A and B are shown apart, each in its own frame.
Chain A
Amino acid sequence: MTAHDYWVLSPAIAMALLALVTVSVDLVTRSMAKVSTVAFLGLSAPLILTLNLWFGWFGDPATAREATGVADLGSALFGTVETDRFALFFDFLLLTVTAGTILASAKYIASERMKDYGGEFVSLVLLSVTGMIVLVSATELITIYVALELTALPVVALAAIHRSKQGVESGTKFFVLSAISSAILLYGFAYIYGFTGSTNLAVIMERLTVLPNDAGVPFGSYAVLLAVIMIVAGFGFKMAVVPWQMWVPDVYQGAPTPVVAFLSVASKAAAFAVIMRIMYVAFGDPALMQDWSGLFAILAAVTMTLGNTLALSQSNIKRLLGYSTIAQAGYILVGVASVPANQVGATFAGAGPQGVMYYLAGYAFTNLAVFFAVIAITSRTNDDSIEGLNGLLKRSPLLAGVLVFGLLSLLGMPPTVGFMAKVVVFGSAINANLTWLAVVGVVNTVIAAYYYLRVIRAIVFEDAEDETKFSADKPVLVAAGVAAIGAGVFGLAPFLLLEFAEQALSILPAIVTGL
């Protein structure tokens, strides 16, 4: 490895080191408070390195910044990894989410049942994030696969960390199904390698344009058709896209809530990042784009409809949130489907992908606020049914406020970020000639209103059986509050995120030509 390689990989390396340091701190001190503190403060290292690569603080590794103003680090490790602005945007998001997760689980890992493996808990989270950081930078199929496994395996262990019947069941389910999804994904990779002779995304794109194709077949050839669908299926598992979503409610219900919070936000964001990179870099040819846009449009419609309708009858808050994340994945897919190639009267080609990034960031803050509030509440009430939330407003007004705000944002109520993000993705769908999809999306938000408002009604209007007041643990409350404030700020000032998203997208060739 050259010095340049280290430079490009610096956030991931720092993250891996932090995971090792955390586990050592646990071994030496046996103090969970120290583990949390070290992990939380230690996150500043990858964070600073990420910001450094974006802004070029400590000496400028960028070769092309002078000319274009955009850092172009070039690739590392023989062209397998590229820490460009697209990757850095997600790195930043992932690191923020990780910081929140560590803060919110500080009390949890210090609890009686967890304190023997609290250090492992934190370090597994950090290892999984290491995988994600590599994943969003990977520009080559094998690297993508390896990074993907690195993100998934720690999560399996995390899901089963309680060693209770429920936890083990949840972990096993996730492990088996994750293996199957990886198998499907590898099949897809194999087909594309067999067809084009390359695993490098950019090379695949070049070869696909020159190889002969059959005009009557979607994607120009059956091999590519199978490959694309299998790749989408493989990542669809991670993104919780119907019909590969079935693990979600079971694992969400069985796994510890901080793990679920992490899983629902971080791995979803990473999966969306990599699927966008693959689609726009390897399959970014306008003709192909038309085809996969249709695929994503159908998946989006099915995913949000099924997620929302299944959520209607849930009585467990964690299970309900599981279905809600499925539905949210559907909304985000609307942005993926809204490709520039379909654009009518193109004024701003990046709107669809830009909407995805905005939605993901806003969703991250919103969902974390909701999950952290649920962690804080259920750790006190030991009841994760919706009835358990009855009268919460009187029992703990601050937590109730955060939870209601988060739910309103998931529902898409102005002026929250959830509303603005839906406006952006549905608007991009209309621009991309997918008006029907935008209509389906709007109808879905109406269906979703039912179950979100049902929870809000329990919190605000129902009377609690047990009226004792309680307040949350400080770190969880801070994490939830910060996440909620983030959701509010990005809703009122979308330009703060949209500008960064636009810069991040400027590296994807298919979008640049669209611009």
Chain B
Amino acid sequence: MITEGLAWLIIALPIAAMLVNGVLVRAFVGSNSKYAGYITVAAIGGSFVLSLMTLATVMSDGPLHVDTHDWITIGGLNLTFGLMVDQLTSIMLVVVSGVSLLVQIYGQAYMHGDKSYTRYFTYMALFTASMLGLVLSGNLIQIFVFWELVGVSSYLLIGFWMDRPTAAAAAKKAFLMTRFGDFGFLLGILYLYSQNSSYMDISTLYHEIEAGHIAVGVATWVSLGLLAGAIGKSAQFPLHNWLPDAMEGPTSVSALIHSATMVTAGVFLVARFFPLFEHSDAMTLVALVGGFTAVFAATMGLVANDIKRVLAYSTVSQLGYMMLALGVGAYAPAIFHLFTHAFFKAALFLGAGSVHHASGTFNMNYMGGLKKHMPRTYWGMVIASLSLAGLFPFSGFWSKDEILGHAAHVGTTTGNIVLALGLIAALMTAFYMFRAVFLTFHGEWKGGGEQEIEDAEKAGEPLPVGSAHSHFGESPWLMVGPIMLLAVLAIGIGFFSNPLVDIGGIDKHAFAHYVTHNHEVFPTSEAAKHAGSSPELNVPIAVISTVLAIAGIGLAYLMYIKGSISPQAMGARFQPLYNLMFRKYYFDEMYENVVVRKGFYKYVADALRWFDEHWIDNANVHLSNWVSRIGKSGALVQNGQTQTYAVGMVVGVVAVVAAFLLWG
């Protein structure tokens, strides 16, 4: 069904939409043209259909065989380009294009009336194309190119409202921090390239690893490089703190890049090079980084007041889950969690946008009682929250349980540590999600955007950005529809990998079987089983995690609905801890003051400035004087006289002959 040409079309359609919107629509129709939205939706819709075709093809025929093409050959340097269409790619394609499509539809309403509506859909098309290109890439250099394109387009989207200083700063922060990780990524690529340039091709790399041609040391260093890139992109500790700030972008942007796409790129990267990681000594580090981040980010989510930031911390925490799973070898559960998380997290972000539409604020302290005004948004978000909290039978339950079960099954020290971390995070997740739901939808209405502005004026604080007038009522269907659809998916898709029974046409473990049925990555069925191709339901773990989730929800209920435990009293009692979490463990301050000001500015920048002033500037001055002197003397000959030119030509011949005779 799918051919190589059609697979290229998956990337080409959004790129075409970007070009049409960015060049033609903007120049000839206007910066606020409804056609821009239609074009992007149509293009991404096309990509989605092709992605489904790809999935169907790979399901029936296995990975698509695609030739690599020479991109450029100079001397010994041979760079190729090509596609990789395997099980992992097909899943990622469907997730990315599917969620993107829903977000674009939602954006038609959410961005309605924005003066840069065309630009929004131009960037969105570019972003989607970059992400689709990333998951389709057949070699490491191509991955890096698209990886950076994802970085650039996310920069553009986060800073979309560039007249807001906070948005511009957040975009810069996101870009710089992810670039920091990319530095490691690039070093990893270069090291692997220096071993053998053919390793750039991913299929070749798989075969070479299986054949044992790659030393463990090499694999470890390269894996660490890739992990650095993944930590940056997936906002893992210690490069996590760009993501909450990145909520400055439009909410629909957050829904896309912080649920299904950009942030999952890091997890995708580790999954793509899973054989390399397994061959290396870096797996423990992957697991510990993931496990620590899962808990660490969740603690900050406990106290955040901005609903989008709660979701942001939750995303970081859930990405930690995926990393943790990959680190203990649970390939299939990790991909499955990525899959389920994409849908329920997108639903939550879109829900937050819908809530903002009604209340005019993102600060949960100014919301409350919205349940009766917007029941569809409410139920959509409750279902997604239950799924995120990991309650049966929602999709999050299945994927989270598979991860924890796998960690328990591994039985190593690392496995047990991350199991404990995962369980703690599960408790916190349930608590902060339902804290958000209760503060937003239950209780009394607390004034919304107007009240927030008024309070800020009274306190003499800077006015909150993005606050607007509240107008009660359900959001338009273009916004609610995608939320409800995603909520339905949040219930349903868990059964694709249920470990208990065959349901209709879907066998048990269908999803896990599918993603591990790739002989290049898992040459033997033993290896596939090891990567979680058919995880059993671990009943004790399932019971414990469910109890923890219910406990978290219950605690939130007691604190924010019944009021039997006062949040203020709790905060006062654990004042130092509360402050620590609320100020995000002072990581922003630490990076800003210690790393950037004291370290970078003081030592590196000062040293460079000295070098620049004393060496570069002087050299420049001399060089430019010298260059302009040549120019002046040359211009003397260029006097417009034909005779001079004629003599010059003959003198030129004589000079060249003389030079040859003297030095030849």
Assess whether A498 is in contact with B75, with CB atoms less than 8 Å apart: no
A180 touches B646 (CB 8 A): yes
Contact with B along A296-319 (1 / 0, CB 8 A): 001100000110011011000000
Whether B76 and A249, one on each chain, are in contact in the complex, defined by CB atoms closer than 8 angstroms, is: no
CB A439 to nearest CB in B, in angstroms, measures: 14
- Residue in A177, A232, A498 whose beta carbon sits within 8 Å of that of B649 in the complex: A177
Question: Is A428 at the interface (CB under 8 A from chain B)?
Answer: yes
B664 close to A (CB within 8 Å):
yes
Q: Does A48 contact B (CB under 8 A)?
A: no
Interface digits, A337-357 against B, CB 8 Å rule (1 contact, 0 not)? 000000001011001000100
Interchain CB contact (< 8 A) of A243 among B628, B632, B646, B651: B651
Given the known A-B contacts A345-B76, A428-B75, A498-B72, are A177 and B659 also in contact in the complex, defined by CB atoms under 8 Å? no
Cα-based distance from A360 to B649 in the complex (angstroms): 25
Judge whether A249 and B638 touch: CB under 8 Å.
Answer: yes
Decide if B653 is an interface residue (CB 8 Å cutoff). yes
Q: Are A310 and B660 in contact (CB under 8 A)?
A: no
Q: Cβ of B649 and Cβ of A244 under 8 Å apart?
A: yes
A233 and B649 form a contact (CB under 8 A): yes
Instruction: Give the interface size class of chain B.
Output: 35 or more
Closest CB-CB distance, A40 to chain B, in whole Å? Answer: 26
Q: Report whether A348 and B73 are in contact in the complex, using a CB–CB cutoff of 8 Å.
A: yes
With a cutoff of 8 Å between Cβ atoms, the chain A residues found around residue B640 in the complex are: 250
Alpha-carbon separation in the docked complex, A495 to B635 (Å): 40
B648 at the interface (CB under 8 A from A): yes
B-side contacts of A312, CB under 8 Å? 627-628, 631
- B69 lies within 8 A of chain A by Cβ: yes
The reply to whether A177 and B653 contact each other, CB–CB distance below 8 Å, is no
Taking a contact as CB atoms under 8 Å apart, the answer to whether B649 and A184 are in contact is: yes
Q: Is B503 an interface residue (CB 8 A)?
A: no
Minimum Cβ distance to chain B for residue A391 (Å): 18
Q: Of A107-115, A267-275, A419-427, which stretch is located at the interface?
A: A419-427
Q: Does A42 contact B (CB under 8 A)?
A: no
Q: Which residues of B contact A355 (CB under 8 A)?
A: 74
Asked if A431 is at the interface of the complex by the 8 Å CB criterion, the answer is: yes
Q: How many whole Å from B435's CB to the nearest CB in chain A?
A: 48
B634 touches A306 (CB 8 A): yes
Stretch at the interface among A31-39, A152-160, A222-230, A382-390: A222-230
| Interface assignment of A30: CB less than 8 Å from any CB of chain B | no
Q: Are B649 and A180 in contact (CB under 8 A)?
A: yes
Question: Which B residues lie within 8 Å of A177 (CB)?
Answer: 642, 645-646, 649
Is B657 interfacial (CB 8 A cutoff)? yes
Q: Is A64 an interface residue, CB under 8 A from the partner?
A: no
Check: A176 CB closer than 8 A to any chain B CB. Answer: yes
- Which residue in chain A gives the minimum CB-CB distance to B643? A176
A203 within 8 A of B: no
Residues B74-95 near A (CB distance < 8 A): 74-77
Q: State which residues 359-416 of A face B: CB under 8 Å.
A: 397-398
Is B539 in the interface zone, CB < 8 Å from A?
A: no
B526 contacts A by Cβ under 8 Å: no
A233 adjacent to B660 (CB under 8 Å): no
Provide the residues of chain B in CB contact with A295, threshold 8 Å: 656, 660
Interchain CB contact under 8 A, A351 and B652: no
Known A-B contacts A176-B642, A291-B664; the reply to A246 vs B649 at CB < 8 A is yes
A196 in the interface (beta carbon within 8 A): no
Residue of A nearest to B71 (CB): A495
Q: Does any Cβ of B come within 8 Å of A193's Cβ? A: no
B211 at the interface (CB under 8 A from A): no
| Set of chain A residues within 8 Å of B70, measured between Cβ atoms | 495
Q: Assess whether B655 is interfacial by the CB under 8 Å rule.
A: yes
CA distance A249 to B637 in the complex (A): 12
Which residues of the partner chain A approach B644 to less than 8 Å between Cβ atoms? 246
CB–CB B649/A313 < 8 A: no
B198 smallest CB distance to A (angstroms): 14
- Residues B649 and A494 in contact, CB atoms below 8 Å apart: no
Chain A residue numbers with a CB within 8 Å of B655 are 243
Q: Is A464 an interface position by the 8 A CB rule? A: no
Contact in complex: A427, B651 (CB < 8 Å): no
Q: How far is the CB of A479 from chain B (nearest CB, A)?
A: 18
A173 touches B652 (CB 8 A): no
Docked pose: A127 CA to B649 CA in angstroms: 27
> Out of B77, B630, B646, B660, which one reaches A309, CB within 8 Å?
B630
Q: How far is the CA of A324 from the CA of B649 in the complex (A)?
A: 20
The listed residue (A218, A246, A298) touching B648 by CB distance below 8 A is A246
Pair B27/A313 contact, Cβ less than 8 Å: no
CA distance A495 to B645 in the complex (A): 41
For the complex, is A51 an interface residue (Cβ under 8 Å from B)? Answer: no
A494-B76 contact, Cβ under 8 Å, with A177-B642, A306-B634, A312-B631: no
A229 to B659, alpha carbons, bound, how many Å? 11
Q: In the complex, A310→B71 CA distance in Å?
A: 36
- With both beta carbons as reference points, the residue of chain A lying nearest to B74 in the complex is identified as A427
Asked if A447 is at the interface of the complex by the 8 Å CB criterion, the answer is yes
Whether B631 contacts A495 by the Cβ 8 Å rule is no
A226 CA / B657 CA spacing, docked (Å): 7
Bound-complex Cα distance A347 to B635 (A): 43
In whole angstroms, what is the CA distance A299 to B659 when docked? 12
- Considering residues B71, B640, B644, B653, which has the most beta carbons from chain A within 10 angstroms of its beta carbon? B653
In the complex, how many angstroms separate the beta carbon of A448 from the nearest chain B beta carbon? 11
Report the bound CA distance from A398 to B281 in whole Å: 54
Judge whether A247 is part of the interface by a CB distance below 8 angstroms: yes
Determine if A427 and B652 form an interchain contact, defined as CB atoms under 8 angstroms apart: no
A262 within 8 Å of B (CB atoms): no
How long is the Cα–Cα vector from A294 to B656 in the complex, in angstroms? 11
Assembly CA distance A312 to B628 (angstroms): 8
With a 10 A CB-CB cut-off, give which of A225, A305, A309 has the most chain B CB atoms. A309
Is A257 close to B, CB under 8 A?
no
Q: Is A98 part of the binding interface, using a Cβ–Cβ cutoff of 8 Å?
A: no
Chain A positions within 8 Å of B75 at CB level: 347-348, 351, 427-428, 430-431
- Can you pick out 14 interface pairs between chain A and chain B where the beta carbons lie within 8 Å of each other? A225-B657, A225-B664, A229-B660, A243-B652, A243-B655, A295-B656, A309-B630, A310-B638, A345-B76, A351-B75, A427-B75, A428-B74, A431-B76, A493-B71
Give the 10 A-B CB pairs with smallest separation, nearest first.
A243-B652, A218-B664, A246-B645, A431-B75, A427-B74, A309-B631, A309-B630, A233-B653, A310-B634, A347-B76
Q: A180-B650, A294-B664, A348-B74 given; name 5 further pairs at CB < 8 Å.
A: A173-B642, A229-B660, A233-B653, A305-B630, A310-B634
